[in-house]
Structure 1
């Protein structure tokens, strides 16, 4: 059977190479090197060992991924021509070597056996140079595909494939999403290569400044941290804090809480988020969203303590729902407009109910509107659902006429109960007007409330006497002044 044997040159000089690897190199007839940029290559030349390299592809192809795919393709072609070849890579073939993975995937599919053997990983030399014990926990990452969620500040981070200034710059930007700009890292060159190994401690922001030329034996080391300003940005820290607060040595108040006892807190925090949005205050919004998230985390921890579910279950259910309800993004269904998205969404929700044993056709059209929503928002949603089946006015003028009718009935009503009922009808009609105008009635009223508060505060600030002593004319004049300043702003 046609065969490719993948072997590693190790991380250092010839003295560090296992005798078995050296013997394989001397005995092989067809040798292909991924790159000649390795300290052992000159020894191969000195010993008269003939080989071909793929260095020319790095200049020809547009990306490292393209290079690796092309190497894989050429090796399989050569294996079909020469039956058995030796493919030689730096370090160990199974550590940070993309071509090995591609060969293992593509070779057997094309009738070529792929054997992986030998080579010392650069990790041994790196841990020795850095004086790091890997049992403490480490993560080996690829600089060319580094993402924020790969970075765990609790672990020793070793980032390889740092070939050039561009790659180093991209890695720096990713690291800066987790670590401060001046966080001290180590740039390690040629680990394990006698006479060439070098380690430089530098602040993170200088990382790409050290790459003035291509270097294929560079490694970034980011040490773990206990700095609160870094760890406090991690979701795991929040989860741990909530668990501690609810734990045996935690806060007496937090330990006593139940879903029902903090139900009102969730509602209050939601409204405070809404207020921060209306006030357009980013700092306040950031803080209020944190308070709302804390309520979610508390409910998750309470459920975990009671053996019902945990925060990870919440995230899983949410992720699955988002993927399921967006088939035009994650699946094969198409939706070019927001209207088509909503149509898909409704169909999927109906199917979800059927999957739970609920027949949507036997449910009231008005089901699904939470009973604890604010009344104005409930009116908006109820009328919107009814309008879907044609229970609605034909034109805007009909809505205005209904409001006038309801206002007349409020004026004619006798007794508090009748007035309350007619006033409710009027408010419901106004909510319908908002829907017709494609305006959220709750949002509109919230903005008016803020405007009222802002103008009344203006009166309080500019009155030269206590409010109780001011006349209506004085307060009205200041009210008009507040309106004037808003128009001028």
Structure 2
């Protein structure tokens, strides 16, 4: 059986190497010694010829892949191997966790002094009394979710890692950056949260976070991490683009509307999750290309809602829903840079046709191009019905003229709906369609029970049954 003896190199130079380490290296010979990395101040105290895993860091795409490759290299060895890791093998050493789970490995772990002992002294904290949580900088967003601190974050070894930590929390506190503790160029500095990603990070960098005002939302952070993983490892997710996902965004939105209409709260929860997946997937794709991140999306909608709720966050007075809608429209126009020349500028063409027509109607009201009451659009609707009948008589079904007249009729019906107090004709039509399906189902059941064909008399009976 393979025997792996894990020794820690301590937190700084050779003066803090654990007793017995050099003797253990000498006992097995340098050919049977593997160091996780040569980037450690005590590495030069080892005998020449000690192998390292630095090449695996260069070849792997993620830090998780690096750890897996290191363990793979160790497991492929024979006899007894001495494995050397920075600091203590019992503190934030993921390869040791993987070795514990590996089959056919006898694992012996030798304790060593870690960077924590020096860190507690520098920040002047008793970790037990303060209830400090230790966090891996590469997994900060997921692991620290829900925490308020204090936190000591290790392995902050790159600008990218510090940037991820910074983006995981909005408006974080001043932090203490601990670098190269125990060495001649040791640095302990206080840095503002907004400047965290400007720190010249190295493999001996950690940060002390005394407290977080707002904890990170664990479930959302873990979900975002999952989507990133799918982009790396799932062939389908990896090949998607903003353009290829367009139809899925529409499908999930429609299915969410269907669930909401049904009133089934479990279905609503599930469909909202599917919509959220589309949002996070788009944000992940944008993050990969350097365009924006999920944090940018959340921050953008946060700031937009604050701007457009000036009656809540400013000094604008809006006491009724109608006043709020008018203010909202004015702010949107200002953000778009509308000059007022075109009242219909900015209406999205991709929305459903009924919603599109309803929005046009609302804009027409804003510039006083509308009927004073419902009698106007009702008369227009009757006019369009007559014109459709005439087009059918002259050209028959399906002609361009008929298509145009049907469009005019529907457009007029939307204006009737608005004047009748129906703000969302899309929902009204959906409810009517659902009502038809319910009544037809009831009619079929009646026909089956009586052994007769469906007909208008059964339809009228089904309507009466529904009205009970």
Provide TM-score, normalisation by structure 2.
Answer: 0.52
2 CA distance for matches of 1:457 and 1:437? 30
SS of 2:448's equivalent in the other structure is coil
2 CA distance for matches of 1:281 and 1:334? 37
2 CA distance for matches of 1:457 and 1:271? 23
Shift of 1:411: 0.9
Shift of 1:461: 4.5
Q: Which residue of 2 aligns with 1:334?
A: 317
Change (3 A) 1:324 1:437: same
Q: Does 1:429 align with 2:412?
A: yes
User: Aligned ranges for residues 308-323 of structure 1 at < 5 Å?
Assistant: 308-323=291-306
Contact 1:376 1:431 in 2 (8 A): yes
Q: Does 1:464 align with 2:443?
A: no
Q: Number of residues paired by the alignment?
A: 273
Change (3 A) 1:352 1:471: same
Q: Which residue of 2 aligns with 1:388?
A: 366
1 CA distance for matches of 2:375 and 2:265? 40
1 CA distance for matches of 2:441 and 2:235? 39
1 CA distance for matches of 2:126 and 2:323? 52
1 CA distance for matches of 2:364 and 2:127? 69
Contact 1:383 1:432 in 2 (8 A): yes
1 CA distance for matches of 2:402 and 2:452? 32
Q: Does 1:237 align with 2:217?
A: no
Change (3 A) 1:256 1:329: same
Shift of 1:272: 1.1
Q: Does 1:274 align with 2:245?
A: no
Change (3 A) 1:486 1:331: same
Contact 2:371 2:377 in 1 (8 A): yes
1 CA distance for matches of 2:435 and 2:217? 37
Q: Which residue of 1 aligns with 2:467?
A: 487
Q: Does 1:404 align with 2:382?
A: yes
1 CA distance for matches of 2:148 and 2:368? 63
Change (3 A) 1:133 1:316: closer
Q: Which one of the candidate residues 365, 369, 377 is aligned to 2:347?
A: 369
Contact 1:410 1:423 in 2 (8 A): yes
2 CA distance for matches of 1:278 and 1:253? 31
- Deviation track 1:6-63 (CA, whole Å, cap 9, x = no partner) reads xxxxxxxxxxxxxxxxxxxxxxxxxxxxxxxxxxxxxxxxxxxxxxxxxxxxxxxxxx
Change (3 A) 1:283 1:478: farther
SS of 1:260's equivalent in the other structure is coil
Q: Which residue of 1 aligns with 2:330?
A: 347
Q: Which one of the candidate residues 323, 331, 339 is aligned to 1:360?
A: 339
Ranges in structure 1 where 5+ consecutive residues have no aligned partner: 1-119, 139-150, 159-230
Change (3 A) 1:265 1:125: closer
1 CA distance for matches of 2:336 and 2:148? 47
2 CA distance for matches of 1:325 and 1:271? 26
SS of 2:287's equivalent in the other structure is helix
Q: Which one of the candidate residues 401, 420, 432 is aligned to 1:448?
A: 432
Contact 2:347 2:356 in 1 (8 A): yes
2 CA distance for matches of 1:234 and 1:388? 43
1 CA distance for matches of 2:387 and 2:314? 53
Contact 1:455 1:482 in 2 (8 A): yes
Q: Which residue of 2 aligns with 1:200?
A: none
Q: Does 1:304 align with 2:282?
A: no
Shift of 1:437: 1.1
Q: Which one of the candidate residues 119, 124, 129 is aligned to 1:126?
A: 129
Contact 1:353 1:360 in 2 (8 A): no
- Deviation track 1:68-101 (CA, whole Å, cap 9, x = no partner) reads xxxxxxxxxxxxxxxxxxxxxxxxxxxxxxxxxx
Change (3 A) 1:478 1:154: same
Shift of 1:379: 1.5
Shift of 1:134: 4.3
Change (3 A) 1:235 1:332: same
Shift of 1:126: 3.0
User: Aligned ranges for residues 9-24 of structure 1 at < 5 Å?
Assistant: none
SS of 1:135's equivalent in the other structure is strand
Shift of 1:373: 1.5
Change (3 A) 1:260 1:136: closer
Change (3 A) 1:391 1:408: same
Contact 1:137 1:156 in 2 (8 A): no
Contact 1:366 1:385 in 2 (8 A): yes
Shift of 1:450: 1.0
2 CA distance for matches of 1:412 and 1:377? 28
Change (3 A) 1:387 1:334: closer
1 CA distance for matches of 2:431 and 2:318? 33
SS of 2:385's equivalent in the other structure is helix
Shift of 1:125: 4.8
Superposed CA RMSD in Å reads: 3.3
Contact 2:256 2:268 in 1 (8 A): yes
1 CA distance for matches of 2:148 and 2:344? 55
